[in-house]
Amino acid sequence: MVTMSSSVMFSMPLQSTLSHSDHVFLRAVLEGFADGILILAEDGSCIHSNQEGRAICRNLSANSHGVPPCLWAMGKQLLDSRELFPDHSLVLTQQFTAQGGDQIRARVQWLDLPSASETYLLISLENQTRSTYTSALLEAVQYNLTPREKDVWLLRRASRSYDEIAKALYITVNTVKRHIKNINAKRREVTELMAN
């Protein structure tokens, strides 16, 4: 069984290699990431996880209080590949759908600390659905979209079809097409201004 501590403290192997101020600084950096971060020992035990990492893990596996099986399977694949590719620094990437429908990209790679006797696995977890939404909000400001155009653009960037957008916003498909046409014109205008 793989367990994950909800604590933000490092276990002794990592903590003993860092000074107190370095430890506090590193912990603050990891907590500040927008992405989820998990650091696992080779036996699958979680050495550290930031708040976002714990939240994504809960969304990936409601029945598990530890590292979700899908993530640990990636970790085991990386462990197994060590003998096949000893001189390569592999990064495994896979996409998962969380319970709420969010798309999560997971990356697993080795984390070698110079003064540590063990090797650790670093798992980074990106909520791509939220990243796309944030990008779409920034683009709405950049392109100076109207509130309704922004609503259409947010759904379009979430890969919704014209029919789905029309149903979600209670408008016709032709109205969606008109908004998309206006949005594309504003995008071209901004692109041309930036090019000049």
pLDDT the model gives residue 111: 87
pLDDT at position 179: 96
DSSP state of 34: S
Q: What is the pLDDT of residue 91?
A: 92
Contact 49, 37 (CB under 8 A): yes
| The pLDDT of residue 196 | 84
Distance CA 22, CA 28 (A): 10
Give the model's pLDDT for residue 115. 72
Q: What pLDDT is attached to residue 17?
A: 56
CB count, 10 Å around CB of 50?
A: 22
* Residue-level pLDDT, tens digit, the chain, 196 residues: 233 333 333 444 454 556 777 768 777 887 888 899 999 999 988 888 999 999 999 989 866 668 999 999 999 999 988 888 877 788 999 999 998 889 999 999 998 777 777 889 999 999 999 999 999 999 999 999 999 999 999 999 988 999 999 999 999 999 999 999 999 999 999 999 998 8
H/E element holding 122?
A: strand 120-127
Distance CA 171, CA 178 (A): 11
CA distance 165 to 163: 5
Sorted by where each starts, the structural domains of the chain and their CATH numbers stand as 12-127 (3.30.450.20), 143-195 (1.10.10)
Given this model, what pLDDT does residue 29 score?
80
What secondary structure letter does DSSP report for 85? Answer: -
Distance CA 176, CA 181 (A): 9
SS3 per residue for 14-30: HHCCCCHHHHHHHHHHH
Name 18's Cβ contacts closer than 8 Å, sequence gap at least 6.
10, 26
Residue 4 CA to residue 135 CA, distance in Å, equals 31
Q: For the whole prediction, is pTM greater than 0.95?
A: no
40: which strand partners?
46, 121
Structure tokens at 169: 């916003």
Residue 171 backbone phi and psi in degrees, to 5: -130, 170
